């Protein structure tokens, strides 16, 4: 087994109730997955699929309209159990850090696993890049994924709310933020000794 660190950039899309007020017993369920696996700074794998929800298999009109997704696409998707098995394989392949934009993806995955009575597939660290972005730039509120990439002067990959495109966009922001962190580390303020040439100072006072 290789011990190289793996980053899994993960994005899910979820079911939505017909109205913004959640009906009693409604649980958001994963209906699309996008995953980008990165090792040593290189994309080594990617995966995307529609996922059939277990509890509420029929999508609401609001969900289909918002995500531009059809019932047929979902009906032909993989099962939630297949999704968890696949994510477990990625987790077992290498020591992994899962990176998502916001906390919702992992929260819903955890709830869906509990509801389906299956083990949570990840054993490593999880990084919420939206929270890191907020802290890094000192923002008061959390920035949306597409707005964040535009703030960097870039356009996101593909279209918003397509799970794989959003996973790639998360990876793009991750690289930009990590580069900024390295740049800031390299450009620490100079010490007093670096700012003043003491040899020149001694010569001046020796005269």
Whether residue 56 is contained in a domain is answered as yes
Give per-residue pLDDT as tens, 104-137: 999 999 999 999 999 999 999 999 999 999 998 8
Q: What is the tally of structural domains in the chain?
A: 1
* C-beta of residue 35 within 8 angstroms of C-beta of residue 121: no
The residues facing 14 across adjacent strands are 30
Out of 34-43, 143-152, 155-164, 187-196, least confident range: 187-196
Whether residue 1 is contained in a domain is answered as no
The mean per-residue pLDDT over the stretch 15-20 comes to 90
111 given a catalytic annotation? no
- Among residues 13, 125, 151, 178, the one annotated as catalytic is 13
13 given a catalytic annotation? yes
CA distance 82 to 72: 18
Nearest of 21, 7, 31 to residue 105 by alpha carbon: 31
Whether residue 69 is contained in a domain is answered as yes
- Among residues 111, 132, 151, 161, the one annotated as catalytic is 161
pTM: 0.85
State which residues form the domain around 168. Answer: 6-206
| Domain containing residue 97: CATH number | 3.30.420.10
pLDDT at 12: 98
Helix axes 80-93, 104-116, angle to 10 degrees: 120
Whether residue 80 is contained in a domain is answered as yes
Give per-residue pLDDT as tens, 3-15: 788 999 999 999 9
Whether residue 106 is contained in a domain is answered as yes
Whether residue 189 is contained in a domain is answered as yes
């Amino acid at each position: 087994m290789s011990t190289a660190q793996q980053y899994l950039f993960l994005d899910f899309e979820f079911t939505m109730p017909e109205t913004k007020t959640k009906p009693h017993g409604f649980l958001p369920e994963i209906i699309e997955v996008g995953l980008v696996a990165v090792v040593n700074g290189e994309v080594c794998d990617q995966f995307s699929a529609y996922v059939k929800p277990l509890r509420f298999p029929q999508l609401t009109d609001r969900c289909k309209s918002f995500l531009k997704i059809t019932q047929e696409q979902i009906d032909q998707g993989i099962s939630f159990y297949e999704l968890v098995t696949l994510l477990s394989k990625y987790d077992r392949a290498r020591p992994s850090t899962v990176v998502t934009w916001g906390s919702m993806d992992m929260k819903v995955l955890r709830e869906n696993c509990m509801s389906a009575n299956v083990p949570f597939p990840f054993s490593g660290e999880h990084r919420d890049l939206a929270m890191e972005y907020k802290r890094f730039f000192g923002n008061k509120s959390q920035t949306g994924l597409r707005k964040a990439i535009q703030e960097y002067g870039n356009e996101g990959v593909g279209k918003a709310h397509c799970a794989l495109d959003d996973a790639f966009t998360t990876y793009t922001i991750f690289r930009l933020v990590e580069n900024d962190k390295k740049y800031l580390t390299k450009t620490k303020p100079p010490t007093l000794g670096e700012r003043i040439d003491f040899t020149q100072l001694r010569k001046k006072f020796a005269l």
